[in-house]
Amino acid sequence: MTRNPADQTAADVREPGPVASAGILALVCAAQFMVVLDVSVVNVALPSIQRSLGFAAADLPWVATSYALVFGGFLLLGGRLADLYGHRRVLGVGLGLFTAASLAGGLASSAGLLIGARAVQGLGAAVLAPVTLTVLTVTFPEGAARTRALAVWTAVSLAGGAAGNLVGGALTEYLSWRSILLVNVPIGVAALVAAARLLGDGPARAGTGRLDVPGAVLATSGLVAVTYALSPGEGRPGVVTAAVWVVGVLALVAFAVVEVRVADWPLLPPRLLRRRAVWLGNGVMLLAGAAFQVPMWYFLTLYMQNVLHLEALQTGLGFLPHTVLTLLIGLRITPWLMRHVDTRVLIAGGIWIAAAGFAWQSQSTAGDTYWSGVAGPAVLLSVGGAVFNTPLTATVTSGVADGDAGAASGLMNTAKQVGGALGLAALVALTAGPAGGGATTGEAMLAAQYGQAFAATAAVLAVIGALAFGLPPRRDNAPR
């Protein structure tokens, strides 16, 4: 008889000591850093990749899109695998896929091989991202220990997005584009060894239930279709995008129906969505991702390269203030704030600080320098992101039974990833037409178009901050 995952508790897991806990935290942060880094690390290397492998201009975006497409589509499935088959086993599979695909991509001799390797990387990332958070939440009990661990994990996740451009630019400039993928290999091998030594399999339920195959097929196909429809598709016929939208939405509706009917180990347990912290928190996460995650790095990169005319390495270095400030605030100040300030206030306040940063960024022009056009807004953007992300992550994962931790992690990562794709697609469409009124030069017009994207982002974040006050107060997030 299958044990109800809601009955799985921390008592089912061997409590690690302080040294092992530190090692586990370092392990999951290293794995998460690789996953987030590879979302953006190829951006500044694309011209070198095109010259090396003879990419057609229309096919070049697939180096990034293939990773994001598979990553976003398989996150729910990846999260539930950890609940059903054990943390160590699933983390090992994710690391193995990601590392092997990184090696294959770094050695690729053709455009097709590189795109295929990036897709497999995305599959490994879809397994890794949820399981790293799952391992963290079952290793550290709710309270100060989990707050500190979540702060480190979140800061590393945020910094990885900013560092991707820096790392990609430096490696491409001084070694080659292949090094941006090959660098994952030694890190992945070391993480595999550490996982085998440090991790148990989690709650003892492997083999006690069956994977929700219909739900997995529907969720994955629906999310892949929606992510594809949302991704920029230059030259793609509108009828194709519309058809993919219909397929994706129908698959997700069918998935919702199936999950209500599945009695044993549904991919997304309906009981999770009965918690206001989960459904509303993930709604805020999706909208914040649409405004703050991928779109921010995308448009800032374009502004620095196309308007300020910075080289690839200079653009990467331009993200250094974002990286450093995010780490400093996220690691040192946010945990302290979470001990003294209600999480709803922190989430709303952080989002509104970021909104102010985007409003400032929207005023940047072709006449600005890096210091006036990027470095100033970077302070507010970094402080805001570092303040709201950790308490929001803590909110959507608090009070969840260990047996559902993977599903909750998969849902949160899906909300963030799909939100980023949604926001990028909407903002690219917004900036596709003429802007700026009296703009007379190419750089001025581009600056005005990017300013539109930043202004729209600020407006969306202002609304999202108000939604945060609908989340349960901290005392309602306690386990029960």
Q: What is the pLDDT of residues 136-147, one digit of tens each?
A: 877 887 777 787
Q: CB-based contacts of 194: which residues, under 8 Å, 6+ apart?
A: 23, 26, 27
pLDDT band for position 10 (50/70/90)? very low
Q: Is 135 a residue whose pLDDT tops 90?
A: no
Q: Average per-residue pLDDT in the chain? A: 80
pLDDT band for position 433 (50/70/90)? low
Domain residue limits, the chain: 17-477
Average confidence (pLDDT) over 18-34: 82
Q: What is the per-residue pLDDT across 375-429, written as a single tens digit (0 to 9) for each?
A: 999 999 989 988 988 888 888 877 777 667 777 777 887 888 778 777 877 787 7
The whole-model pTM stands at: 0.75
What are the CA-CA distances from residue 416 to residues 108, 311, 438 (Å)? 30, 30, 37
Average confidence (pLDDT) over 25-34: 86
* Type of residue at 47: P
Higher pLDDT: 117 or 222? It is 117
Q: How far apart are CA 368 and CA 356, in angstroms?
A: 19
User: Tell me, what's the pLDDT at 18?
Assistant: 65
pLDDT band for position 363 (50/70/90)? very high
pLDDT band for position 29 (50/70/90)? confident
Can you name the CATH fold of 17-477? Growth Hormone; Chain: A; (1.20.1250)
User: Tell me, what's the pLDDT at 289?
Assistant: 81
Higher pLDDT: 7 or 285? It is 285
User: Tell me, what's the pLDDT at 41?
Assistant: 78
Q: How far apart are CA 233 and CA 225, in angstroms?
A: 13
User: Tell me, what's the pLDDT at 162?
Assistant: 67
Least confident stretch, 40-44, 433-437, 456-460: 433-437
Q: How far apart are CA 363 and CA 168, in angstroms?
A: 28
Q: Is 194 a residue whose pLDDT tops 80?
A: yes
User: Tell me, what's the pLDDT at 379?
Assistant: 92
Whether the CB-CB separation of 420 and 294 falls below 8 Å is answered with yes
Q: How far apart are CA 365 and CA 174, in angstroms?
A: 31
User: Tell me, what's the pLDDT at 17?
Assistant: 61
User: Tell me, what's the pLDDT at 201?
Assistant: 58
Q: Is 115 a residue whose pLDDT tops 60?
A: yes
Q: How far apart are CA 290 and CA 395, in angstroms?
A: 19
Q: Is 467 a residue whose pLDDT tops 60?
A: yes
Q: What is the per-residue pLDDT across 57-113, written as a single tens digit (0 to 9) for each?
A: 667 777 877 887 788 778 878 877 877 777 788 888 999 999 999 999 999 988 889
